[in-house]
C-alpha cells in the first residue's frame, strides 16, 4: 500500500523487490536456512519442536518464531503486491481527487477513502492466503517437526492410513468453505452495493 502512494520513489522499488523475493522463496528451503542461521550458527532460537504454551510459554513462543515467519512470508508478499496494484487503481479515481481537493489530510484520504475501496481484491487474496497457509503448514510442520495436522497428514499418507487422510481432507475442506463464506460476507460490508438475496 505504501508502494502505491509513493509510486516510483525509492521505497516503492525496495518494497516491490522485497515482495518479489517473498513470493519466490520456497518456504521449506527458507525454513531449513533459518534453522541453520538462527538455531545452529547464532543459537538465538531453538532448532525445532513444539511445546504447549501452557507448559512453557517462553519456549513455546521462541519455537514458533521461525515457522510463523516461514508460513506468513508468501501470503504477506502476495497480499502486498495485490494491495499495491489495487491501490494504484483506486488512487486514480475521481473521488480520491475530490477528497484531496476538499483539503482532507493524507491519512484520512489514504486510509478511509482509498483503502476501503481497494480492499476487495485484497480480501479475496487474504481468503486464499488462509487456505494457502493451511496447505503450507503441511510442509512447514514437517520442516520444524511440529506435531500438528499437517504432519499428521504426511504421516498418515506415508503409512497409507486412508481413514485419517479422508478425515483430514474433510476437515480442511470444511475450514476453507467457512473462510470463503466469511470473505463473501465481508464483501457486502465493504461495498454496500453488493447484496445477497
Partner 1 sequence: MIEQAKNVNDIVKITPRVGEWRRFRRVFLSRGLVLIGIIILFLLLFIAIFAPLLAPYPPNTPVLKEALQNPSSHHWLGTDALGRDIFSRILWGSRTSLEIGLIVVALASSIGVILGVLAGYYGGWVNAVIMRLIDALMSFPMIILALVVAALLGNGMKNVIIALGIAMMPSYARVMCAQVLSVKENDYITASRSVGCSNSRIMFSHILHNCLPPLIVMVTMMLGSVILAEAGLSYLGIGISPPTPSWGSMINDGQQYLLDLPIISFAPGIALMLTIFAFNMVGDGLRDALDPSLRGTF
> Which cell is 160 given?
497409507
Task: Report which of 34, 30, 29, 33 is spatially closest to residue 45, judged by C-alpha positions.
Answer: 34
* Residue with Cβ nearer partner 1 (92 or 102): 92
153 binds partner 1 (CB under 8 A): yes
Write the CB contacts of 167 (distance below 8 Å, at least 6 apart in sequence).
none
- Tell me which stretch binds partner 1 (CB under 8 A): 17-25, 56-64, 99-107, 187-195: 17-25
The whole-angstrom distance between residue 150's C-alpha and the CA centroid of its chain comes to 17
Is residue 182 near partner 1 by the rule CB under 8 A?
Answer: no
Distance between CA atoms of 76 and 28, rounded to whole angstroms?
16
Residue 105 or 125: the one with the smaller Cβ distance to partner 1 is 125
64-103 footprint of partner 1 as x/- string (CB under 8 A): -----------------xx--xx--x--------------
Which secondary structure element, helix H or strand E, spans residue 2, and what is its range? helix 2-5
Contact 31, 44 (CB under 8 A): no
8 A C-beta contact, residue 86 and residue 122: yes
180 interacts with partner 1 by CB under 8 A: yes
- 3-class secondary-structure state, position 48: coil
Which of 177, 182, 185, 194 touches partner 1 (CB under 8 A)?
Answer: 177
Binding status of residue 115 toward partner 1 by CB under 8 A: no
| Site residues (vs partner 1, CB under 8 A) | 20-21, 23-26, 28-29, 32-33, 35-36, 40, 81-82, 85-86, 89, 121, 131-132, 134-136, 138-139, 142-143, 153-154, 157-158, 160, 165, 168-169, 172-173, 176-177, 180
Amino acid at each position: 500500500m505504501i508502494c502505491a502512494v509513493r509510486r516510483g520513489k525509492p521505497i516503492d522499488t525496495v518494497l516491490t523487490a522485497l515482495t518479489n523475493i517473498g513470493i519466490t522463496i520456497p518456504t521449506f528451503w527458507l525454513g531449513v536456512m533459518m534453522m541453520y542461521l538462527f538455531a545452529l550458527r547464532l543459537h538465538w532460537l531453538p532448532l525445532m519442536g513444539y511445546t504447549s504454551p501452557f507448559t512453557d510459554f517462553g519456549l513455546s513462543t521462541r519455537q514458533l518464531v521461525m515457522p510463523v515467519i516461514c508460513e506468513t512470508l508468501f501470503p504477506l508478499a502476495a497480499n502486498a503486491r495485490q494491495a499495491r496494484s489495487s491501490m494504484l487503481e483506486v488512487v486514480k479515481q475521481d473521488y480520491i481527487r475530490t477528497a484531496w481537493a476538499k483539503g482532507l489530510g493524507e491519512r484520512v484520504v489514504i486510509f478511509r477513502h482509498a483503502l476501503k475501496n481497494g480492499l476487495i481484491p485484497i480480501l479475496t487474496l487474504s481468503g486464499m492466503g488462509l487456505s494457502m497457509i493451511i496447505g503450507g503448514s503441511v510442509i512447514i510442520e514437517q520442516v520444524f517437526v511440529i506435531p500438528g495436522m499437517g504432519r499428521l497428514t504426511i504421516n498418515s499418507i506415508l503409512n497409507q492410513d486412508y481413514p485419517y487422510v479422508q478425515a483430514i481432507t474433510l476437515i480442511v475442506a470444511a475450514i476453507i468453505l467457512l473462510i470463503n463464506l466469511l470473505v463473501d460476507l465481508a464483501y457486502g460490508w465493504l461495498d454496500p452495493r453488493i447484496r445477497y438475496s
